[in-house]
Chains A and B, each alone.
Chain A
Amino acid sequence: MSEDTSLKTTPLTGLWQSMGGRMVPFAGYLMPVQFPEGVMKEHVWTRESCGLFDVSHMGPAFLALNETSLAGDAAHAAIAALVETILPCDVAGLAPGQLRYTTLPNASGGVLDDLFVGRPKADADQGTLYFVVNAGCKEQDFAIIAEACAGKATLTRADDRALIAVQGPKAVDAIGNVGDGPKRLSFMEFATVKGPYGEVVVSRSGYTGEDGFEVLIAADKAEAFVRTLLATAHVKAIGLGARDSLRLEAGLCLYGHDLDETTSPIEAGLAWTIQKVRRERGDFPGAARILKELAEKPSRKRVGLLPKDKAPAREGAEIRNLAGEKVGMVTSGGYGPSVGGPIAMGYVDAAFAAVGTELDLIVRDQPRRWVVAPLPFVPHNYHRKG
Chain B
Amino acid sequence: MTTKYTKDHEWVSVAGDIATCGITAYAAEQLGDVVFVELPNVGRIVSQGDEVAVVESVKAASDVYAPVSGEVVDVNEALAEAPEGVNEAAETTGWFTKLKLTDPAELDALMDRAAYDTYLAGL
Complex formed: what's the CA distance from A311 to B61 in Å? 10
Chain A's interface size range is: 20 to 34
Q: A34-B32, A241-B32, A310-B80 are in contact. Are A39 and B38 (CB under 8 A)?
A: no
Is A40 a contact partner of B58 (Cβ separation < 8 A)?
yes
Interface string of A26-66 (1 = CB under 8 A from B): 00000001100011110100000000000000000000000
Is B56 a contact partner of A312 (Cβ separation < 8 A)?
yes
Q: State which of A202-210, A285-293, A334-342 sits at the interface with chain B.
A: A334-342
Residues of B within 8 A of A245 (CB): 58-59
Q: A310-B80, A312-B56, A335-B56 are in contact. Are A40 and B33 (CB under 8 A)?
A: yes
Interface string of B24-44 (1 = CB under 8 A from A): 000000001101101000000
Interface string of B41-79 (1 = CB under 8 A from A): 000000000000010111111000000000000000000
Is A38 a contact partner of B33 (Cβ separation < 8 A)?
yes
Is B35 a contact partner of A342 (Cβ separation < 8 A)?
yes
* Inter-chain contact total with CB atoms closer than 8 Å: 46
Residues of A within 8 A of B38 (CB): 311, 364
Interface of A is mostly: mixed
Q: Which residue in B54, B58, B61, B80 is a CB contact (below 8 Å) of A39?
A: B58
Complex formed: what's the CA distance from A63 to B36 in Å? 47
Interface residue A314 (Cβ < 8 Å from any Cβ of B): yes
Complex formed: what's the CA distance from A76 to B26 in Å? 57
Is A335 a contact partner of B35 (Cβ separation < 8 A)?
yes
Residues of B within 8 A of A (CB): 32-33, 35-36, 38, 54, 56-61, 80
Q: Which 7 A-B pairs have the closest CB atoms?
A: A40-B33, A335-B35, A39-B58, A335-B58, A38-B32, A312-B56, A38-B33
Name 18 A/B residue pairs within 8 A (Cβ), A-sorted.
A33-B59, A34-B32, A38-B33, A39-B58, A39-B59, A40-B33, A40-B58, A43-B58, A241-B32, A241-B59, A242-B58, A312-B36, A312-B56, A334-B58, A334-B59, A335-B58, A337-B58, A364-B38
Residues of A within 8 A of B (CB): 33-34, 38-41, 43, 241-242, 244-245, 310-312, 314, 334-335, 337, 342, 364
Q: A39-B32, A312-B61, A335-B57 are in contact. List 20 more A-B contacts (CB 8 A).
A: A33-B59, A34-B32, A39-B57, A39-B59, A40-B33, A40-B35, A244-B59, A310-B36, A310-B80, A311-B36, A311-B38, A311-B56, A312-B36, A314-B60, A334-B58, A334-B59, A335-B36, A337-B33, A337-B58, A342-B35
